[in-house]
Amino acid sequence: MTENSYDYLIVGAGIVGLTVAHELKTRFPSAKIGVMDKEANSGLHASGRNSGVLHSGIYYSSDTLKAKVCAVGAKRMTAFAQEHGIPCSKSGKVIIATSEKDLPTVERLLRNADDNGIRAWRIDEKELHEIEPYAVPGLAAIYSPDTAVIDSRAVINRLTALLEQQGVQFLWRHGFRELRRSGEVVTDQGKLSFGYLFNCAGAYADVVAKSFGLAGDYALVPFKGIYWKLRPEAEHLVRANIYPVPDIELPFLGVHLTRVISGDVYVGPTAIPALGRENYGLIQGIRPREAIDVGYRLARMYLGNRYNFRRMAHLELAKYMKHNFVLAAQRLLPSITSEDMIPTPKAGIRPQLVNLREGKLEMDYIFQHTDHSTHVLNAISPAFTSSFAFAEMIVNSSNVV
Protein backbone atom coordinates (compact mmCIF):
# COMPACT_ATOMS: atom_id res chain seq x y z
CA MET A 1 0.00 0.00 0.00
CA THR A 2 1.40 3.38 -1.04
CA GLU A 3 1.74 6.40 1.24
CA ASN A 4 -1.39 8.03 -0.18
CA SER A 5 -3.48 4.86 -0.18
CA TYR A 6 -5.94 3.89 2.57
CA ASP A 7 -8.09 0.91 3.42
CA TYR A 8 -10.74 3.36 4.64
CA LEU A 9 -10.86 7.03 3.72
CA ILE A 10 -13.27 9.36 5.55
CA VAL A 11 -14.27 12.73 4.11
CA GLY A 12 -14.94 15.18 6.92
CA ALA A 13 -13.45 15.58 10.40
CA GLY A 14 -16.61 16.62 12.21
CA ILE A 15 -18.06 14.47 14.98
CA VAL A 16 -19.59 11.97 12.52
CA GLY A 17 -16.33 11.48 10.61
CA LEU A 18 -14.39 11.13 13.87
CA THR A 19 -16.74 8.55 15.37
CA VAL A 20 -16.84 6.58 12.10
CA ALA A 21 -13.03 6.47 12.24
CA HIS A 22 -13.29 5.35 15.88
CA GLU A 23 -15.77 2.60 14.95
CA LEU A 24 -13.60 1.38 12.07
CA LYS A 25 -10.46 1.36 14.22
CA THR A 26 -12.30 -0.65 16.87
CA ARG A 27 -13.41 -3.23 14.31
CA PHE A 28 -10.26 -3.28 12.19
CA PRO A 29 -7.27 -2.31 14.39
CA SER A 30 -4.67 -3.00 11.70
CA ALA A 31 -6.50 -1.12 8.91
CA LYS A 32 -4.96 2.03 7.46
CA ILE A 33 -7.51 4.81 8.00
CA GLY A 34 -7.34 8.35 6.72
CA VAL A 35 -9.57 11.31 7.61
CA MET A 36 -9.42 14.19 5.13
CA ASP A 37 -10.79 17.68 5.71
CA LYS A 38 -10.52 21.01 3.95
CA GLU A 39 -9.77 22.75 7.26
CA ALA A 40 -6.63 22.73 9.41
CA ASN A 41 -8.33 21.10 12.41
CA SER A 42 -11.33 18.98 13.33
CA GLY A 43 -14.87 20.12 14.15
CA LEU A 44 -14.59 23.72 12.95
CA HIS A 45 -18.16 23.88 11.66
CA ALA A 46 -21.43 22.34 12.95
CA SER A 47 -19.77 19.94 15.40
CA GLY A 48 -17.78 22.62 17.17
CA ARG A 49 -20.47 25.29 17.08
CA ASN A 50 -23.42 23.48 18.66
CA SER A 51 -24.80 24.19 22.12
CA GLY A 52 -23.45 20.97 23.60
CA VAL A 53 -26.90 19.67 24.55
CA LEU A 54 -27.17 15.87 24.65
CA HIS A 55 -30.76 15.16 23.69
CA SER A 56 -32.82 12.39 25.27
CA GLY A 57 -34.57 11.32 22.05
CA ILE A 58 -38.09 12.43 22.97
CA TYR A 59 -38.65 14.27 19.69
CA TYR A 60 -38.34 11.23 17.42
CA SER A 61 -40.97 8.62 16.68
CA SER A 62 -39.85 5.02 17.14
CA ASP A 63 -39.85 4.24 13.40
CA THR A 64 -37.09 6.77 12.65
CA LEU A 65 -33.35 6.18 12.46
CA LYS A 66 -32.89 9.11 14.85
CA ALA A 67 -34.88 7.30 17.55
CA LYS A 68 -32.82 4.14 17.13
CA VAL A 69 -29.54 5.89 17.95
CA CYS A 70 -30.30 9.01 20.02
CA ALA A 71 -30.80 7.63 23.53
CA VAL A 72 -28.13 4.93 23.24
CA GLY A 73 -25.79 7.44 21.62
CA ALA A 74 -26.27 9.88 24.51
CA LYS A 75 -25.34 7.13 26.99
CA ARG A 76 -22.21 6.27 25.02
CA MET A 77 -21.22 9.93 24.73
CA THR A 78 -21.69 10.38 28.48
CA ALA A 79 -19.56 7.30 29.15
CA PHE A 80 -16.84 8.67 26.82
CA ALA A 81 -16.90 11.95 28.73
CA GLN A 82 -16.59 10.19 32.09
CA GLU A 83 -13.74 7.99 30.84
CA HIS A 84 -11.75 10.97 29.54
CA GLY A 85 -12.56 13.59 32.16
CA ILE A 86 -14.65 15.76 29.86
CA PRO A 87 -17.14 18.09 31.61
CA CYS A 88 -20.71 16.75 31.28
CA SER A 89 -23.77 17.49 33.39
CA LYS A 90 -27.15 15.75 33.35
CA SER A 91 -29.02 19.00 33.99
CA GLY A 92 -32.44 18.05 32.61
CA LYS A 93 -34.89 19.97 30.44
CA VAL A 94 -38.44 21.28 30.57
CA ILE A 95 -40.55 21.47 27.39
CA ILE A 96 -43.42 23.94 27.71
CA ALA A 97 -46.67 24.23 25.76
CA THR A 98 -47.58 27.91 25.38
CA SER A 99 -50.71 27.57 23.22
CA GLU A 100 -53.63 25.22 22.68
CA LYS A 101 -52.19 24.00 19.38
CA ASP A 102 -49.18 22.60 21.30
CA LEU A 103 -51.24 20.19 23.40
CA PRO A 104 -51.53 17.35 20.84
CA THR A 105 -47.76 17.54 20.41
CA VAL A 106 -47.28 17.17 24.16
CA GLU A 107 -49.12 13.85 23.98
CA ARG A 108 -47.13 12.82 20.93
CA LEU A 109 -43.83 13.55 22.67
CA LEU A 110 -44.90 11.51 25.68
CA ARG A 111 -45.81 8.61 23.36
CA ASN A 112 -42.37 8.89 21.77
CA ALA A 113 -40.78 8.72 25.21
CA ASP A 114 -42.82 5.64 26.11
CA ASP A 115 -42.10 3.92 22.78
CA ASN A 116 -38.37 4.67 22.95
CA GLY A 117 -37.88 3.81 26.62
CA ILE A 118 -37.00 7.41 27.55
CA ARG A 119 -37.57 8.87 30.99
CA ALA A 120 -39.93 11.84 30.58
CA TRP A 121 -43.22 12.78 32.16
CA ARG A 122 -45.79 15.51 32.38
CA ILE A 123 -45.39 17.94 35.29
CA ASP A 124 -47.82 20.40 36.83
CA GLU A 125 -47.30 24.12 37.40
CA LYS A 126 -45.94 23.63 40.92
CA GLU A 127 -43.35 21.08 39.76
CA LEU A 128 -42.34 23.31 36.85
CA HIS A 129 -41.85 26.20 39.26
CA GLU A 130 -39.60 24.06 41.45
CA ILE A 131 -37.45 23.08 38.45
CA GLU A 132 -37.39 26.42 36.60
CA PRO A 133 -38.83 29.15 38.87
CA TYR A 134 -38.93 31.87 36.20
CA ALA A 135 -40.36 29.82 33.31
CA VAL A 136 -43.82 30.62 31.96
CA PRO A 137 -46.46 28.33 33.58
CA GLY A 138 -47.79 27.39 30.15
CA LEU A 139 -50.71 25.08 29.45
CA ALA A 140 -48.69 21.90 29.94
CA ALA A 141 -45.08 20.90 30.51
CA ILE A 142 -42.83 17.86 30.18
CA TYR A 143 -39.73 17.14 32.23
CA SER A 144 -36.84 15.25 30.63
CA PRO A 145 -34.35 14.49 33.43
CA ASP A 146 -31.75 12.78 31.22
CA THR A 147 -31.06 15.72 28.92
CA ALA A 148 -27.45 16.74 29.51
CA VAL A 149 -24.91 19.37 28.49
CA ILE A 150 -21.33 18.62 27.52
CA ASP A 151 -18.17 20.40 26.41
CA SER A 152 -18.49 19.51 22.71
CA ARG A 153 -15.15 21.11 21.79
CA ALA A 154 -13.39 18.97 24.41
CA VAL A 155 -15.04 15.84 22.96
CA ILE A 156 -13.78 16.67 19.47
CA ASN A 157 -10.27 17.48 20.67
CA ARG A 158 -9.98 14.33 22.78
CA LEU A 159 -11.37 12.07 20.07
CA THR A 160 -8.99 13.56 17.50
CA ALA A 161 -5.99 13.02 19.78
CA LEU A 162 -7.10 9.48 20.62
CA LEU A 163 -7.44 8.55 16.95
CA GLU A 164 -4.01 10.00 16.17
CA GLN A 165 -2.54 7.90 18.98
CA GLN A 166 -4.19 4.84 17.41
CA GLY A 167 -2.56 5.52 14.05
CA VAL A 168 -5.40 7.22 12.17
CA GLN A 169 -3.91 9.74 9.73
CA PHE A 170 -5.48 13.20 9.49
CA LEU A 171 -5.09 14.89 6.14
CA TRP A 172 -5.63 18.58 6.85
CA ARG A 173 -6.38 21.08 4.08
CA HIS A 174 -7.33 18.19 1.81
CA GLY A 175 -10.59 19.54 0.44
CA PHE A 176 -12.52 17.09 -1.77
CA ARG A 177 -12.53 18.01 -5.47
CA GLU A 178 -13.73 14.98 -7.42
CA LEU A 179 -13.77 11.23 -7.82
CA ARG A 180 -11.18 10.67 -10.54
CA ARG A 181 -11.84 6.97 -10.99
CA SER A 182 -12.96 4.05 -8.88
CA GLY A 183 -10.91 4.06 -5.70
CA GLU A 184 -9.23 7.44 -6.24
CA VAL A 185 -10.19 10.98 -5.28
CA VAL A 186 -8.60 14.30 -6.12
CA THR A 187 -8.09 16.72 -3.23
CA ASP A 188 -6.61 20.20 -2.84
CA GLN A 189 -3.29 18.48 -2.04
CA GLY A 190 -3.28 15.77 -4.71
CA LYS A 191 -4.68 12.28 -5.22
CA LEU A 192 -5.66 9.75 -2.55
CA SER A 193 -6.53 6.09 -3.11
CA PHE A 194 -8.95 4.09 -1.00
CA GLY A 195 -10.48 0.67 -0.61
CA TYR A 196 -13.69 2.11 0.84
CA LEU A 197 -14.80 5.71 1.37
CA PHE A 198 -17.17 7.20 3.95
CA ASN A 199 -18.63 10.58 3.03
CA CYS A 200 -19.18 12.42 6.32
CA ALA A 201 -18.71 15.87 4.81
CA GLY A 202 -21.61 17.55 6.64
CA ALA A 203 -22.76 20.63 4.74
CA TYR A 204 -20.92 19.42 1.63
CA ALA A 205 -22.06 15.78 1.74
CA ASP A 206 -24.36 16.26 -1.27
CA VAL A 207 -21.52 17.72 -3.34
CA VAL A 208 -19.27 14.75 -2.58
CA ALA A 209 -22.10 12.27 -3.22
CA LYS A 210 -22.90 13.79 -6.63
CA SER A 211 -19.31 13.11 -7.72
CA PHE A 212 -20.11 9.43 -7.09
CA GLY A 213 -23.29 9.62 -9.17
CA LEU A 214 -25.56 9.77 -6.10
CA ALA A 215 -27.86 12.33 -4.42
CA GLY A 216 -29.48 13.25 -7.73
CA ASP A 217 -32.77 14.14 -6.04
CA TYR A 218 -31.17 15.88 -3.07
CA ALA A 219 -29.43 19.09 -2.12
CA LEU A 220 -28.37 20.54 1.21
CA VAL A 221 -29.78 23.97 2.04
CA PRO A 222 -28.18 25.96 4.88
CA PHE A 223 -30.09 27.51 7.77
CA LYS A 224 -28.31 29.93 10.08
CA GLY A 225 -28.54 29.68 13.84
CA ILE A 226 -27.68 32.88 15.68
CA TYR A 227 -27.79 33.39 19.43
CA TRP A 228 -27.95 36.01 22.14
CA LYS A 229 -26.49 35.49 25.58
CA LEU A 230 -27.85 36.43 29.00
CA ARG A 231 -25.84 39.06 30.85
CA PRO A 232 -24.34 37.69 34.08
CA GLU A 233 -26.90 39.50 36.25
CA ALA A 234 -29.75 37.65 34.45
CA GLU A 235 -28.24 34.15 34.33
CA HIS A 236 -30.15 33.14 37.49
CA LEU A 237 -33.35 33.17 35.42
CA VAL A 238 -32.41 29.82 33.85
CA ARG A 239 -31.26 26.81 35.84
CA ALA A 240 -30.83 24.31 32.99
CA ASN A 241 -32.78 24.01 29.70
CA ILE A 242 -36.12 25.62 28.85
CA TYR A 243 -37.56 24.59 25.48
CA PRO A 244 -40.86 25.24 23.70
CA VAL A 245 -43.02 22.43 22.37
CA PRO A 246 -41.68 22.17 18.80
CA ASP A 247 -43.49 22.06 15.52
CA ILE A 248 -42.55 18.45 14.89
CA GLU A 249 -43.19 18.78 11.15
CA LEU A 250 -40.19 21.11 10.98
CA PRO A 251 -36.57 20.18 11.73
CA PHE A 252 -36.05 23.08 14.15
CA LEU A 253 -36.84 23.15 17.87
CA GLY A 254 -37.52 26.88 18.15
CA VAL A 255 -35.80 29.51 20.29
CA HIS A 256 -34.90 28.06 23.68
CA LEU A 257 -32.71 28.86 26.68
CA THR A 258 -29.75 26.69 27.62
CA ARG A 259 -27.25 26.87 30.46
CA VAL A 260 -24.19 25.37 28.79
CA ILE A 261 -21.42 23.48 30.52
CA SER A 262 -19.47 26.71 31.20
CA GLY A 263 -22.43 28.16 33.10
CA ASP A 264 -23.23 30.76 30.43
CA VAL A 265 -26.86 30.94 29.31
CA TYR A 266 -27.61 31.22 25.60
CA VAL A 267 -30.88 32.19 23.93
CA GLY A 268 -31.54 30.76 20.48
CA PRO A 269 -30.92 29.57 17.91
CA THR A 270 -32.74 30.92 14.90
CA ALA A 271 -33.25 28.89 11.74
CA ILE A 272 -32.79 31.64 9.18
CA PRO A 273 -32.44 30.59 5.52
CA ALA A 274 -28.83 31.37 4.62
CA LEU A 275 -27.09 31.97 1.31
CA GLY A 276 -24.00 29.89 2.02
CA ARG A 277 -22.92 26.72 3.77
CA GLU A 278 -20.50 28.81 5.83
CA ASN A 279 -22.52 32.05 5.90
CA TYR A 280 -21.98 32.63 9.63
CA GLY A 281 -22.15 36.43 9.50
CA LEU A 282 -24.45 38.75 7.60
CA ILE A 283 -22.36 38.41 4.43
CA GLN A 284 -19.39 36.40 5.77
CA GLY A 285 -18.99 33.07 3.99
CA ILE A 286 -21.18 33.92 0.99
CA ARG A 287 -19.71 32.70 -2.30
CA PRO A 288 -21.47 34.10 -5.40
CA ARG A 289 -21.98 30.83 -7.29
CA GLU A 290 -23.11 28.94 -4.21
CA ALA A 291 -25.40 31.83 -3.22
CA ILE A 292 -27.13 31.66 -6.61
CA ASP A 293 -27.69 27.90 -6.31
CA VAL A 294 -28.91 28.09 -2.72
CA GLY A 295 -31.04 31.14 -3.44
CA TYR A 296 -32.73 29.33 -6.32
CA ARG A 297 -33.59 26.35 -4.09
CA LEU A 298 -34.88 28.59 -1.33
CA ALA A 299 -37.01 30.51 -3.84
CA ARG A 300 -38.56 27.26 -5.10
CA MET A 301 -39.32 26.19 -1.55
CA TYR A 302 -40.78 29.60 -0.75
CA LEU A 303 -43.03 29.59 -3.82
CA GLY A 304 -44.05 25.96 -3.31
CA ASN A 305 -44.74 26.63 0.39
CA ARG A 306 -44.61 22.97 1.38
CA TYR A 307 -44.85 22.43 5.16
CA ASN A 308 -45.57 26.16 5.66
CA PHE A 309 -42.05 27.04 4.55
CA ARG A 310 -43.09 30.60 3.68
CA ARG A 311 -44.42 31.30 7.17
CA MET A 312 -41.34 29.77 8.77
CA ALA A 313 -39.05 31.89 6.58
CA HIS A 314 -40.90 35.08 7.53
CA LEU A 315 -40.78 34.27 11.25
CA GLU A 316 -37.10 33.36 11.20
CA LEU A 317 -35.91 36.27 9.08
CA ALA A 318 -37.75 38.62 11.46
CA LYS A 319 -35.43 37.42 14.25
CA TYR A 320 -32.58 39.39 12.72
CA MET A 321 -34.31 42.20 14.66
CA LYS A 322 -33.58 41.89 18.38
CA HIS A 323 -37.14 42.90 19.31
CA ASN A 324 -38.57 39.81 17.63
CA PHE A 325 -35.91 37.60 19.19
CA VAL A 326 -36.80 38.95 22.64
CA LEU A 327 -40.49 38.26 22.02
CA ALA A 328 -39.67 34.63 21.14
CA ALA A 329 -37.66 34.27 24.37
CA GLN A 330 -40.41 35.91 26.46
CA ARG A 331 -42.83 33.15 25.42
CA LEU A 332 -40.78 30.91 27.71
CA LEU A 333 -39.30 33.41 30.15
CA PRO A 334 -41.71 36.34 30.61
CA SER A 335 -39.43 38.36 32.89
CA ILE A 336 -36.56 38.54 30.40
CA THR A 337 -35.88 41.98 28.94
CA SER A 338 -34.00 43.26 25.93
CA GLU A 339 -31.30 44.57 28.27
CA ASP A 340 -30.83 41.04 29.67
CA MET A 341 -29.75 39.76 26.23
CA ILE A 342 -26.26 40.72 25.07
CA PRO A 343 -24.57 40.01 21.72
CA THR A 344 -22.43 36.93 21.19
CA PRO A 345 -20.40 35.83 18.16
CA LYS A 346 -21.78 32.30 18.55
CA ALA A 347 -23.40 31.18 15.28
CA GLY A 348 -23.84 27.95 13.40
CA ILE A 349 -25.13 26.59 10.14
CA ARG A 350 -27.52 23.67 9.99
CA PRO A 351 -27.36 22.08 6.52
CA GLN A 352 -30.83 20.63 5.89
CA LEU A 353 -31.39 18.06 3.16
CA VAL A 354 -34.07 18.96 0.64
CA ASN A 355 -35.81 16.38 -1.55
CA LEU A 356 -35.79 18.29 -4.85
CA ARG A 357 -38.27 15.97 -6.53
CA GLU A 358 -40.87 16.33 -3.77
CA GLY A 359 -39.91 19.84 -2.65
CA LYS A 360 -39.72 18.92 1.03
CA LEU A 361 -37.25 18.99 3.89
CA GLU A 362 -36.03 15.53 4.87
CA MET A 363 -36.48 14.88 8.58
CA ASP A 364 -34.44 11.71 9.15
CA TYR A 365 -30.93 10.45 8.48
CA ILE A 366 -30.39 9.29 4.90
CA PHE A 367 -27.59 7.07 3.57
CA GLN A 368 -26.72 6.21 -0.03
CA HIS A 369 -24.14 3.71 -1.22
CA THR A 370 -21.99 2.51 -4.08
CA ASP A 371 -20.00 -0.73 -4.02
CA HIS A 372 -17.08 1.09 -2.45
CA SER A 373 -18.57 4.06 -0.63
CA THR A 374 -21.20 5.15 1.89
CA HIS A 375 -22.62 8.67 1.93
CA VAL A 376 -24.24 10.26 5.00
CA LEU A 377 -26.48 12.88 3.41
CA ASN A 378 -28.40 14.34 6.32
CA ALA A 379 -26.27 14.31 9.46
CA ILE A 380 -28.45 16.77 11.35
CA SER A 381 -29.40 17.02 15.03
CA PRO A 382 -29.17 14.86 17.07
CA ALA A 383 -26.05 13.73 15.19
CA PHE A 384 -23.67 14.98 17.90
CA THR A 385 -25.68 13.33 20.69
CA SER A 386 -26.02 10.12 18.69
CA SER A 387 -22.58 10.06 17.14
CA PHE A 388 -21.05 6.92 18.66
CA ALA A 389 -24.20 4.87 18.01
CA PHE A 390 -24.78 6.68 14.70
CA ALA A 391 -21.27 5.72 13.53
CA GLU A 392 -22.01 2.08 14.32
CA MET A 393 -25.21 2.34 12.24
CA ILE A 394 -23.32 3.98 9.36
CA VAL A 395 -20.66 1.27 9.25
CA ASN A 396 -23.30 -1.46 9.57
CA SER A 397 -25.16 0.01 6.59
CA SER A 398 -22.06 -0.05 4.39
CA ASN A 399 -20.49 -2.81 2.30
CA VAL A 400 -17.56 -3.05 4.68
CA VAL A 401 -16.75 -6.61 5.71
User: What pLDDT, in 10s, does the model give residues 187-228?
Assistant: 999 999 999 999 999 999 999 999 999 999 999 999 999 999
Q: Would you place residue 251 in the very low, low, confident or very high pLDDT band (cuts 50, 70, 90)?
A: low
d(CA 152, CA 69): 18
**Residue 354 CB contacts under 8 Å (≥ 6 apart), including other chains:** 218, 219, 220, 221, 297, 301, 360, 361, 362
d(Cα 104, Cα 154) in Å, to the nearest integer? 38
* pLDDT per residue as tens digits for the range 136-194: 999 999 999 999 999 999 999 999 999 999 999 999 999 999 998 889 999 999 999 99
What average pLDDT does the segment 39-66 reach?
Answer: 94
In 3D space, the residue among 307, 316, 300 whose CA is nearest the CA of residue 357 turns out to be: 300
- In one-letter notation, the amino acid at residue 210 is K
Residue 107 to residue 215: CA distance in whole angstroms: 36
pLDDT band at 372 (very low <50, low <70, confident <90, very high): very high
- pTM for the model: 0.95
Whether the Cβ atoms of residue 73 and residue 389 lie closer than 8 Å to each other: yes
| Domain architecture of the chain: domains with CATH | 1-91+148-217+363-401 (3.50.50.60), 93-128+141-145 (no CATH), 218-356 (3.30.9)
Q: Is the pLDDT of residue 23 over 70?
A: yes
What pLDDT band is residue 282 in, cutting at 50, 70 and 90?
Answer: confident
Q: What is the pLDDT of residues 92-131, one digit of tens each?
A: 999 999 999 999 999 999 999 999 999 999 999 999 999 9
- The pLDDT value recorded for residue 248 is 64
